[in-house]
Amino acid sequence: MTTAGNRLERRKARTRSALITAAQRFIADGKPNAPILEITQAADVGMGSFYNHFDSRDELFAAAVESALESLGDYLDSLTVELSDPAEIFAQSFRITGRLFRLQPDLSRVLVNSGPSLIASTKGLAPRAARDIAAATEAGRFVAPDTDLAMALVAGSLLGLGQLLLQQPDRDDAAAADALTAGILVSLGLSRAEAEELCSRPIPLGAADLDQP
């Protein structure tokens, strides 16, 4: 590709990224019906540029949610790569995600306001959680023969936790995330003692650095 072509591709990528980032802010603010003009103004791009990347506002917002979910999914994968027990991988991922509602408030609002997209998306949290639940069941760690039903429990619990932490800023997010994770692990077949032991282990949360689009 020529130098001019490379510059064009980089410019297009920056424009798309700016639109997705702006859309995520509108989703986080609970404004899914924001006019396209407002979105392009927030992204500092022209209206014509919008239609070079997306056919509609709904398509942009779907891409924005997918991008947020995939960034979070990649982050969780990077923190569980050294674990071998699928039950521990699931537990650690849920515990970390619960803490991110405070550490990454804009991202958390995107997740909470995306609602059903959390379950239906083929990117990000849902496929990874389903993978870990299926692996833990196959390994005899969980008793969850219906992965879809288990996912309904997990996704509903995560959205409820996020809403609770956003509404109650003084609540201990770590304690809440760990208590809820332990309850889910028991529902998936672990003993209460083992569930609580898994949820007492240290987690490599660090600074919660997530790559944004």
Tens digit of pLDDT for each residue in 69-127? 788 888 888 888 889 999 999 999 999 999 988 887 777 777 777 766 667 777 778 89
Say whether pLDDT at 210 is over 70: no
Q: How far is the C-alpha of 115 from the C-alpha of 123, rounded, in Å? A: 14
Confidence band, pLDDT 50/70/90 cuts, at residue 213: very low
Residue 47 is predicted with a pLDDT of: 86
Residue type, 62: A
- Residues 6 or more apart from 28 whose CB is under 8 A from it? 105, 106, 107, 109, 110, 113
- Of 18-32, 104-118, 124-138, give the range with the top mean pLDDT: 124-138
Residue 210 · residue 189 · CB < 8 Å: no
Phi and psi at 34, nearest 5°, equal -60, 135
Phi and psi at 115, nearest 5°, equal 55, -120
What are the angstrom distances between the C-alpha of 66 and each of 6, 143, 167, 170?
A: 26, 29, 25, 30
Matching residue, tokens 């201990």: 172
Residue type, 52: N
| Domain residue ranges of the chain, discontinuous segments joined by + | 3-198
CATH number of 3-198: 1.10.357.10
51 DSSP 8-state letter: T
